[in-house]
Amino acid sequence: KGLALFFYIFGGWFARDGHGGTSGANFITVTVICMLLLAADFWVVKNITGRLLVGLRWWNKVEGDSTTWIFESAGDNRPINKFDSSVFWTVLYVTPAVWIALLVIGILKFNLGWLIIVVMALALSFANVYGYYKCSSDQKAKFQQMMAQGAQAGAMTVIRSNMLGWLTGSSAVHQQTQGQQQSTYV
């Protein structure tokens, strides 16, 4: 992950020609190096670190014209180190966020040629996030709990603001109806 990010961020320096522009051959070299590093990272995360650190693995099985996705968990019989697990999940979730930020920066700077690397990184990162999310019932439960807490907090904020507004006479609905009444008299 780190090497792919390094080559993406600093690859422009290596791809420069003598006139300050980007050399086609150097750009292709940096792009190929980044793609190979991203593919290696995807394979290592999918086939090694997920299995060793959190006891999860996923793959697809192709038989003729049909494809079957298989998601496996080691279960409770294998102890999982809490530190290893938290590092794995944190890095797994932060990686797409970093690449999304680089996508936005690339679009704003109009470096559209470099976005092929970012799109590939996002596709591979999200594939791993999705695969491991489907494997882990613990992560599903945490995600559902987080979503429920967020919905509950949002609902409570709306109820509080509406209730306080009603009590003080400054609710958004009250202000809107007053604004409409005033505009009809003008």
Q: How far apart (Å, rounded) are the C-alpha atoms in residues 175 and 8? A: 52
The DSSP result for 146-176, as a single string, is HHHHHHHHHHHHHHHHHHHHHHHT--HHHHH
What global pTM score does this model have?
A: 0.68
What tens digit of pLDDT does each residue of 62-116 get? 999 999 988 888 776 778 888 998 999 999 999 999 999 999 999 998 888 889 9
pLDDT digits (tens, 9 = 90+) for 4-32: 999 888 887 766 665 555 667 778 888 99
